[in-house]
Structure 1
Amino acid sequence: MFEAMIDPTSRPSGGVTPGARAPRPATLHGMVVGLLSNAKQNAELFLDAVGELLAAEHGTADMVRRKKLSITDPVPAPMLAELSAACDIVVIGVGDCGSCSASAVADGLAFEAAGIPAAVICSDAFVASADAMANVMGESGYAYVTTAHPVAPLSPAEVRERARTALPGIVGLLTVPATAAA
């Protein structure tokens, strides 16, 4: 049974303000990373690999892992509040179907509105769903990272390679571009 559903015909609610973007740090060094996975196969493995790479290559300090129980529902308010209080940045994914891609974008926008920089990861087969959710929420052009579809049937080694390939885009979404930071 659904506790909450995203209505693609409605305007933003729940405190999501169109155009709201959290300020970006110049570096991820010392940051606490929130990893918000959905219930899709390999989502947790993908985000764990991203978290490990962020720590090894960008000096993040810690990770807070959470898993949504539904691929279609928005991040529950208590989980949004918990991650917003405990984390400096959040990585969300993996949108590997139409409804979970839309939900991931909605979650990214909710974190941004809460003041937490977010990077959303969706598979490239579902950019239409992700873009549609961004448009419905008044965020046409919302940037997220894509990875090749599908993610669910990959081996652990293939998932880690996908995470490595996605890492530059994730870092780019979470930080101020080098020219802007200078």
Structure 2
Amino acid sequence: MIELVVPVLMDEPPPAGLQPAARRAFTKPIRVALIDNGKPKARELLEAICKALNTHIPVASSRLIAKGSASRVIDDEEVEAISAQADVVITGLGDCGACSACSLGDAVKMEAAGIPATVVITDVFTRHIASFATTLGMPGYHAAVVPHPIYAKDAETLSQIAQELAAVVATQLQGEAVPPQRDR
């Protein structure tokens, strides 16, 4: 039997007036939740981004949440548990249609719960995500875009991608008013 997975809840309309969580500059070390959808190299990339993020935002800790499937969105209980343990969330890896949509769905659910988030998507799925963000009630939602495909990249390349992306992720998580870097 083949199960068709549609990443849109057909029985619920998109939320009206959904807004991203409030952004602010983080002056104290933050707790970062990394929602790993299980795609090849997702965990490695998310962890590298979090490590590189520490050069832009002080990171106190990170927690990896491994989803059981890339083709599902986190449920309300998971949102509540993550919200209690994280100041920001990075989700991913979106490198196909359903997993991109579901990772975006994870980020949007965290935003709705008041936790700033971003989603890591490969460049070939940015239009898909832009369209789906509108469907979810958050048109114009940002994404941290990486080159496709990620699964073929070695550890050194993933680290380089993460270093290049860290400033973008920092801005997406705390807003445009990013304070100047201080020496660490």
Partner of 1:6: 7
Higher mean C-alpha displacement, 124-133 vs 25-34: 25-34
- Structure 1 segment 1-182 matched on structure 2, within 5 A: 6-7=7-8, 11-12=13-14, 18-27=17-26, 29-178=28-177
Shift of the alpha carbon at 1:160? 1.2
Contact 1:28 1:60 in 2 (8 A): no
Shift of the alpha carbon at 1:144? 1.3
Higher mean C-alpha displacement, 159-168 vs 110-119: 159-168
Higher mean C-alpha displacement, 152-161 vs 48-57: 48-57
Identity of aligned residues (%): 27
Structure 1 distance, partners of 2:135, 2:47, is 30
Higher mean C-alpha displacement, 23-32 vs 59-68: 23-32
Structure 2 distance, partners of 1:87, 1:102, is 22
Query: TM-score, length-normalised on structure 1?
Result: 0.87
Which sections of structure 2, spanning at least 5 residues, go unmatched?
A: 180-184
Q: Cα gap change, 1:98/1:23 in structure 2, threshold over 3 Å: closer, same or farther? A: same
Letter paired with 1:11: P
Structure with the higher helix share, 1 or 2: 1
Structure 2 distance, partners of 1:179, 1:158, is 27
Contact 1:17 1:113 in 2 (8 A): no
Structure 2 distance, partners of 1:28, 1:148, is 31
Q: Cα gap change, 1:18/1:106 in structure 2, threshold over 3 Å: closer, same or farther? A: farther
- The 4+ residue runs of structure 1 with deviation greater than 6 A are none
Structure 1 distance, partners of 2:145, 2:169, is 10
Contact 1:92 1:118 in 2 (8 A): yes
Shift of the alpha carbon at 1:32? 0.5
SS of the residue aligned with 1:19?
coil
Contact 1:39 1:68 in 2 (8 A): yes
Shift of the alpha carbon at 1:5? 5.2
Q: Cα gap change, 1:142/1:84 in structure 2, threshold over 3 Å: closer, same or farther? A: same
Partner of 2:182: none
